[in-house]
Structure 1
Amino acid sequence: MNEHKYSDSHWVGSWFASQTYFDGNFAEERFEDQTIRMIIHPHAFGSKIRLKFSNLYGSEPAVFGTVTAALAAKDKGIVPGTGRQVTLNGQFNIAIPAGEEIYTDPVDLQLNEHVDVAVSVYVPKSTRTSTWHFSPPRSTYVAEGNHAEDSNADFFRNNLHSYYWLSGMEVLTQDEHFRVIVALGDSITEGSTSTSDANHRWPDIFFERLRREHPSQSISVLNAGIVGNQILKNGPEIGMPIGGESVLSRLDRDLFLHSGVTDVIFLEGINDIGLGNATANQLIAGLKGVATRVHEKGLRIFAGTLPPFGGAPYYSNEKELIRQEVNRWILTNEVFDGIIDFNTALADPEHPEQLLPVYDFGDHLHPCDAGFKALADCIPLSLL
């Protein structure tokens, strides 16, 4: 890329999906002579983008014959005339070596508010799925053959719910005061139980709130949530590969490498209690460790209290006492730059160990759309 052409500009994160180990129990194990169309919801806008692809957990190169980016239309299609070929080092064939992540060349594509982006990837040869983002509340579409440039949605007959190899999108901006907030967490941040294709995850709703209440401030909110994620343990340690690497292991990649990041909203720990059987002292030590590393990078971090999980499959009275002890520490510590009381926002006042029924997705652990809105609305903007 000819950097001097953009000397007065800089890249900022517009969209992100944390990558995890692949688990064949949930999705396609291989793609061959197929096109994967993935829909992403940008939080930063402009006329020039670049994509990030990851083959972090691959044992062989991932080779794409054609990659396009276009404005997304309804029902799997793309807006005619907006399709752009994506290249890497000037080449249309994009090969990502095993264990690596790459940024593509810049692409001229005008992004405006309320318009999603369709990224279409044609995989010509049999390629094992190795690196992915499991279960976003967005539909991904698959067509047989190379239809990366087709606006016609009829070819895309298979629906999935994961992102494959695609991990980020950045936008070029000249705004020196652009702020990037990273929402770091587990499935509650990932928004896996929000309405599909509606952008109702709490980071999305919070972004819309920021745009509405502070329209002059340029801000994006990147979602670094992973289903089943923990602060202390990697997913494979508990037999759950989709849980990904622990927060303490993924900070560099999922937080510090983002272009323009300034702030972190951190909500995590309930899986450490429920799945990892962590003690309160172990979890508090992990929370301190995250805060220390974030501050070493000169960033601010705001911690959220752990919402209720009474009635969830891994709930017990003993684990509830641990959650309460951790929340007491979060509310009274001076390690973080500020506290967000997500627990009070979602709790049933008459049964504080449980989610308020109107906010409960149904499993007594995850919020529904109304619960995600409550999370977004309870964040004090004065912190930011």
Structure 2
Amino acid sequence: MTTKKTALAVPLAAALLAVAGTTTAAAPAAARTTPWHSAWGASPQAPTHTDWFPNWSEEGFRNQSVRQVVRAGAEGTELRVRLTNAYGKTPLRITGATVARSAGGAAVLPGSVRTLRFGGAATAAVPAGATLASDAVALPVKAFEQVTVTLWFQGPTGPATFHNVAMGTSYRAAGDHLRDTSGNAFSAPGDQSFSWYHLAGIDVKGGVRGRAVVTFGDSLTDGFGATPGTDRRYPDALADRLAGQGRPRAVLNAGIAGNKVLNDSPCFGESALHRFRRDALGRPDTGTVIVLQGTNDIIQPDMPQDRCTAGPRATAQEIIAGHRELIREARRSGVRILGGTLPPYGDAAYWNPAAEAVRNEVNTWIRTSGSYDGVVDFDRAVADPEHPQKLKAELAFADRLHLNDAGYRAMAGAVDPDSL
């Protein structure tokens, strides 16, 4: 199939189903030998301005410390931090970096601050288009413990590679605050953001776990609609559920709000086809990928058109052809791949019968074709049985397109642990 590359974006309600990235080769899972296991990750996006999620990506940073808090999804005796300059045009110069245990907000626990080094040096330059991992740090972490990464940029960074919809708060402050334990320096108005910057992942070693599950998708995976700052996205709920059943493993979120299967967007990242090898297969220990993609291909042509949402209307067969290519990529890398059915959005502003027919055709193929290694029926888990084109009212976010906390728990409950 010839992949279409066009601009696309999305206003608040539906724009939030997206993903971004550049393509990098991924070695077959069976051939990888590394002591590192994924504990957290985010899919990078090119710098862009969006009215619905303002961010600092276009301006970047200069003489500023950026403090970011994430939830580690796996335990380990050591960790490393991976930084990304995937969309940078020049090397990204890191003047200093630290990692610590979170004490809530921008504060960190005294005694837990560790300097990050890169090849033994406290400074680093991440080449344009590249990712750089820190040296191992002796900071033991537990699964679901919050970890804080602070980066100090003394010189100008230029526009920043970032992840727009973090559903958590990042902080910035003028000057070097790498080792501050209080969050006072980061409390000025305008110095909080709902995005992550230059942060690609956290890996751990020394713990015992199975291969990671990568949840690959759009804003339904990214978690828009969940309570901010509480880690209640569906991948978080799935990790909690597996741990509660005595089957703990890292569940990594590779969602990008607004993302499409077939077309790139200046606002919502490269298409699933273009970013899959990097964001889903390019982890140190991917074992299973759960794909939930296609809603934006269906819904965005019915939204007001701008630089973000622009793009051709996709047929069910074109979306299915895109899914088939993702399946082929996963199998070439020895990774198990599950297909998630597309949840309904019948009460959303841009629903129409023709688009519903496309959604149903795609879902029927996912359920019945046998193309995927297994099926996660998100649609039936959250749909109103009496009105299957709509979400259950008690699970729906206000826009009736996304889910609330209970809805994301229901999505996690649709995953059969034995299928992973």
TM bucket (normalised to shorter chain) is over 0.9
- Structure 1 residue matching 2:408: 3-state secondary structure: helix
* Alignment partner, residue 330 of structure 2: 294
**Does 2:207 correspond to 1:164?**
no
2:411 pairs with 1:359: no
Match for 2:195: what amino acid?
S
In 1, the alpha carbon distance for the partners of 2:213 and 2:375 equals 15
Aligned to 1:312: 348
1:325 corresponds to which residue? 361
> Which residue in the other structure is 2:210 paired with?
178
Q: Please tell me whether the aligned partners of residues 121 and 148 of structure 1 are also in contact (alpha carbons under 8 angstroms).
A: yes
Residue 218 of structure 1: CA displacement? 4.5
- The residue matched to 2:138 in structure 1 has which SS? strand
Question: Which residue pairs with 1:72 in the alignment?
Answer: 102
- What is the match of residue 279 of structure 2? 254
Q: Tell me, what secondary structure is at the counterpart of 1:122?
A: strand
Alignment check: 8 A CA contact 1:40 1:116 kept: yes
- Does the 8 Å CA contact 1:71/1:117 hold for their aligned counterparts? yes
- Residue of structure 2 in register with 1:339 after alignment: 375
Where does residue 206 of structure 1 map in the other structure? Answer: 238
Q: Distance in 2 between matches of 1:313 and 1:288?
A: 30
Normalized against structure 1, the TM-score is what?
0.93
The number of equivalent residue pairs is: 369
TM (norm. structure 2) is: 0.85
CA contact under 8 A between 1:9 and 1:173: conserved in structure 2?
A: no
**Residues 208 and 320 (structure 1), Cα distance of their counterparts in 2 relative to 1, 3 Å cut:** same
2:27 alignment partner in structure 1: none
**2:55 — aligned with what?**
27
C-alpha RMSD over aligned residues: 1.4
Instruction: Report deviation, 1:139.
Output: 0.6
Q: Distance in 1 between matches of 2:282 and 2:263?
A: 22
Q: 1:112 and 2:154 equivalent?
A: no
Distance between the aligned counterparts of 1:252 and 1:125, measured in 2? 32
Give the CA deviation at 1:293. Answer: 1.1
Aligned amino acid, residue 270 of structure 1: T
User: Segments of 4+ in structure 1 off by > 6 A?
Assistant: none
**Counterpart in the other structure of 1:4:** none
1:130, distance to aligned residue in structure 2 (A): 2.9
Alignment partner for residue 291 of structure 2, among 266, 274, 277? 266
Could you give the per-residue CA deviations for residues 270-326 of structure 1, whole angstroms, max 9, x where no partner exists?
001112521001011111111111111111111111000113233221111100111
Secondary structure class of the residue paired with 2:252: strand
Name the amino acid aligned to 2:391: L
Q: Does 1:16 align with 2:41?
A: yes
- 1:149-160 pair list within 5 angstroms: 149-157=179-187, 158-160=191-193
SS state at 1:222 partner: strand
How far the C-alpha of 1:44 sits from its partner, in A, is: 1.0
Identity of aligned residues (%): 35
Q: Which amino acid aligns with 1:87?
A: R
What residue number does 2:21 align with?
none
Q: Name the CA distance, whole Å, in 2 between partners of 1:314 and 1:233.
A: 19
Q: How far 1:75 sits from its partner (Å)?
A: 2.7
For residue 167 of structure 1, report the CA deviation from its aligned partner.
0.7
Give the Cα–Cα distance (whole angstroms) in 2 for the partners of residues 12 and 47 of structure 1.
11
Is this contact kept in 1: 2:226–2:404, CA < 8 A? yes
| 2:250 counterpart of 1:220 | yes
Whether the 8 Å CA contact 1:78–1:152 is kept in 2: the answer is yes
- 1: CA distance, partners of 2:376 / 2:34: 33
Query: What CA distance in whole angstroms lies between the structure 2 residues aligned with 1:87 and 1:11?
Result: 17
Aligned to 2:74, the other structure's residue is in SS state coil
Contact 2:39 / 2:73 at 8 angstroms: preserved in 1?
A: yes
Segments of structure 1 that go 5 or more residues without pairing to the other structure are 1-7
- Measured after TM superposition, the shift of residue 103 of structure 1 is 1.0
Distance in 2 between residues matched to 1:286 and 1:310, nearest whole Å: 24
Structure with higher RCO (Cα < 8 A, 6+ apart): 2
Question: For residues 248 and 366 of structure 2, what CA distance do their matches in structure 1 show?
Answer: 29
**1:382, distance to aligned residue in structure 2 (A):** 2.4
Q: Distance in 2 between matches of 1:293 and 1:332?
A: 21
Structure with the larger strand share? 1
Aligned partner of residue 125 in structure 2, secondary structure? strand
Tell me if structure 1 keeps the 8 A contact 2:98–2:151: yes
